[in-house]
Amino acid sequence: MKPVNIGLLGLGTVGGGTARVLANNAAEIARRAGREIQVIHAAARGLGDSKPEGTANVDITEDAFAVVNNPEVDIVVELIGGDSPARELVLQAIDNGKHVVTANKALIAKHGNEIFAAAQAKGVVVAFEAAVAGGIPIIKAIREGLSANHIQWIAGIINGTGNFILTEMRDKGRDFADVLKEAQELGYAEADPTFDVEGIDAAHKLCILSSIAFGVPLQFEKVYTEGISKVSQDDVSYASELGYRIKHLGITRATEQGIEMRVHPTLIPERRLIANVDGVMNAVLVMADKLGPSLYYGAGAGSDPTASAVVADIVDVTRDLTTDPENRVPHLAFQPDHINDTPILTMDDVVTAYYLRMNAEDKPGVMADITRIMGEAGISIEAIMQKEPAPGESTANIIMLTQRIREAQMNQAMVAIQALDAVSGEVTRIRVESLASD
């Protein structure tokens, strides 16, 4: 049978890894796919006379559109990242009747609706397993392995940089800025770390997971996003004293009112498996009505782990080459005419528990004022911890855990507490999730 020809866009960390895996494991991949798979054309810049491993017989050009328009290419693999020209290249590949594999989470989160509609019209496949959680096959698990279930919620550590920073802060008592600097030196964080530490990268991935889980259009602009740059060493220590760990979670949940999509620092009970996922590793916890909870753990980035997911997609697409388009696995898990318009909740309507930390004068009546405000807002307090003032200081840290309440009610209470003369500065808030199976 004729080999399947790959056009590879990008030969960086992931692209180079993909070429290497396809070359090194060619026989095993052919056994699984039923056909030989070979890279024949690639686009990359700045290589000079050197060729990455696995590309010795590959025609390499700087013109990505030459690869997309090559009539001999069957599958275009887009690994250049970003919005443009990735969007234009993918749409051109689809228009040319070529299947597409991509690891580009921003592209799918922001332009996936347009891309999938174009692919459906042309009868081609767009595969994107590597766009979420690197080498962990989470998209396939939700889209296919859990297709008999109603997904109830998903909570994931889906950015390794943020998880590395929070792990170091907890285990070694280091400050955020200090650990971020090391993460940049180790190559875990970019020179501009905004996408990682402010949650944008995780929001791209959560948007995709939410659409696959609940059969709604991709709506990246509706993901509530909050980073970890304001998490202090005090918060990490106090959380530990209370039996919790702080993780930067992406959470999506189906409720009677709509769907939650939110990325923010979260306290999790330390006994939960996902609370013990450390360093740069990723993990996604899925709650399904028939299976119950299942945890998917592994490397969320890196050359070989991400290439593993890319090549798995290439194998899947190769298997689909002779399949009737109507009988393929849908891009977003549900048949296109069954994607629904369930509303996405704003954060004001989200119900969760809270960790609060405030700095207040150490004198009678202050605690009574704070608890009165909480009671008037309908907020029940689960636990209170007050720290002794530092030597020579007249203020102390007060830490509270609340029961579950609407975010709008918590916002109201925080404004009133911050207005008290005895409270200095802003109240620190971190949301709390039990991630229990009930």
Q: Which residues are catalytic?
A: 205
CA distances from 227 to 34, 116, 135, 247 (A): 45, 30, 24, 11
Q: Which residues, in sequence order, are CB contacts of 429 under 8 Å at separation 6+? A: 354, 355, 356, 410, 414
* Contact (CB, 8 A) for 3 and 38: yes
201: tokens are 């990268």
In degrees, rounded to 5, the angle at the alpha carbon of residue 43 between the alpha carbons of residues 40 and 46 is 130
408: tokens are 């709008």
**Angle formed by the axes of helices 407-418 and 366-376, to 10°?**
150
Q: Cα 184 vs. chain centroid, distance in angstroms? A: 20
d(CA 400, CA 121): 54
Q: What 3-state class would DSSP assign to 26? A: helix
CA distances from 160 to 180, 189, 202, 244 (A): 12, 9, 10, 20
What is the chain's length? Answer: 438
d(CA 135, CA 321): 23
**Side chain identity, residue 85:** P
Q: How far apart are the first and last CA of the chain?
A: 51
In this structure, the number of other CB atoms found within 10 A of the CB of residue 13 comes to 16
Q: Which residues, in sequence order, are CB contacts of 56 under 8 Å at separation 6+? A: none
d(CA 363, CA 369): 11
Of 96, 103, 37, 46, nearest to 66 (Cα)? 96
